[in-house]
Amino acid sequence: MCGIVGYLGDKQATDVVIEGLAALEYRGYDSVGVAFISKDRAGKVVKQAGRVESLVPLVKQQALAGCHISIGHTRWATHGLPNSKNAHPHANNDNTIFVVHNGIIENYQELRDQLIKIGYNFYSETDTEVIPNLIDYYNKKTGSLEQAIRDTLNDLSGAFAVAILSTLEPDTIYAARVSSPLVIGVGENQDYILASDPNAIMEHTKKVIFLDDNDLAVIKKGKLKISDFKANTAKDPKVELLDYDQEKASLGDFPNFMLKEIFEAPQTIKTATLGRVLADEGIIKLGGLESINAQLRYIDRIVIVACGTSYYAGMVGEYLIEELAGIPVEVQQASEFKYRHEPFSRSTILLAISQSGETADTLAALEKVKDFGCLRLGVVNATGSSIARLTDAGVYCHAGPERAVASTKAFIAQVTVLTLIALYLSKGEHKSYRKLLKELELLPEKAKAVLDQANEIKRIALKYKDSSEFLYIGRTILYPCALEGALKLKEISYIHAEGYAAGEMKHGPLALIDKNFPTFALATNSAVLEKTLSNIEEIKARGGPIIALATLGNKKIQPLADEVIYLPETLEQTQPILAALAMQLFAYFVAEAKGLDIDRPRNLAKSVTVE
Specify the 3-state DSSP secondary structure of 118: coil
* Among candidate residues 115, 2, 39, 277, the one with its CA nearest the CA of residue 14: 39
Report pLDDT digits (tens) over 561-596.
999 999 999 999 999 999 999 999 999 999 999 999
Query: Does the pLDDT at position 34 exceed 80?
Result: yes
Query: Does the pLDDT at position 188 exceed 50?
Result: yes
Give me the catalytic one of 221, 458, 463, 606: 606
In the predicted model, what is the mean pLDDT of residues 282-304? 92
Domain 3-102+159-251 has CATH 3.40.190.10: no
pLDDT score for 272:
93
pLDDT score for 242:
66
Count of all residues that appear for the chain in the document = 611
d(CA 90, CA 133): 9
- Please state the φ and ψ torsions of residue 265, each to the nearest 5 degrees: -55, -45
In the predicted model, what is the mean pLDDT of residues 16-45? 77
Strands 469-474 and 519-522 turn out to be parallel
Confidence of residue 609 (pLDDT cuts 50, 70, 90): very low
> What percentage of the chain exceeds 90 in pLDDT?
58
- Give catalytic status of residue 606 as yes or no: yes
* Of the candidate ranges 73-87, 90-104, 208-222, 305-319, the one whose mean pLDDT is the lowest: 73-87
- Please state the φ and ψ torsions of residue 586, each to the nearest 5 degrees: -60, -50
Q: Is the pLDDT higher at 338 or at 99?
A: 99
Specify the 3-state DSSP secondary structure of 60: helix
**Is the pTM here over 0.75, yes or no?**
no
Residue 233 forms beta bridges with which residues? 228
Report pLDDT digits (tens) over 121-158.
989 888 889 999 999 999 999 999 999 999 999 999 88
pLDDT score for 135:
96
Query: Does the pLDDT at position 313 exceed 50?
Result: yes
Query: Does the pLDDT at position 246 exceed 60?
Result: no
Give me the catalytic one of 2, 67, 374, 397: 2
Instruction: Give CATH 3.40.50.10490 domain extents, the chain.
Output: 260-444, 453-611
Confidence of residue 603 (pLDDT cuts 50, 70, 90): confident
d(CA 603, CA 211): 41
- Give catalytic status of residue 2 as yes or no: yes
Confidence of residue 531 (pLDDT cuts 50, 70, 90): very high
Report pLDDT digits (tens) over 502-516.
988 888 888 888 999
Contact, 443 vs 269, CB < 8 A?
Answer: yes
Query: Does the pLDDT at position 610 exceed 60?
Result: no
Report pLDDT digits (tens) over 396-427.
998 877 878 899 999 999 999 999 999 999 99
Contact, 478 vs 524, CB < 8 A?
Answer: yes
Instruction: Give CATH 3.60.20.10 domain extents, the chain.
Output: 3-102+159-251
Query: Does the pLDDT at position 524 exceed 60?
Result: yes
Q: What share of the chain is helix, strand, coil (3-state, %, to 5)?
A: 40, 25, 35
Query: Does the pLDDT at position 251 exceed 80?
Result: no
d(CA 224, CA 106): 30
pLDDT score for 481:
97
In the predicted model, what is the mean pLDDT of residues 555-559? 91
pLDDT score for 192:
93
- CATH number for domain 260-444, candidates 1.10.8.60, 3.40.50.620, 3.40.50.10490, 3.90.550.10: 3.40.50.10490
Q: Is the pLDDT higher at 11 or at 482?
A: 482
Strands 496-501 and 469-474 turn out to be parallel
d(CA 317, CA 300): 16
CB atoms within 10 A of CB 373: 11
Query: Does the pLDDT at position 605 exceed 60?
Result: no
Across 118-171, the runs of DSSP E, i.e. the strands, are: 158-166
> What percentage of the chain exceeds 70 in pLDDT?
94
pLDDT score for 96:
93
Q: Is the pLDDT higher at 80 or at 118?
A: 118
Confidence of residue 384 (pLDDT cuts 50, 70, 90): low
* Of the candidate ranges 50-59, 376-385, 472-481, the one whose mean pLDDT is the lowest: 50-59
CB atoms within 10 A of CB 552: 12
Report pLDDT digits (tens) over 42-83.
888 888 787 777 777 777 777 666 788 989 888 766 677 777
pLDDT score for 470:
96
Q: Is the pLDDT higher at 194 or at 51?
A: 194
Residue 165 forms beta bridges with which residues? 98, 173
- What DSSP state is assigned to residue 36? E
Contact, 125 vs 112, CB < 8 A?
Answer: no
pLDDT score for 55:
74
In the predicted model, what is the mean pLDDT of residues 445-470? 97
Architecture in CATH for domain 453-611: 3-Layer(aba) Sandwich (3.40)
Radius of gyration of the CA atoms of the chain, in A: 26
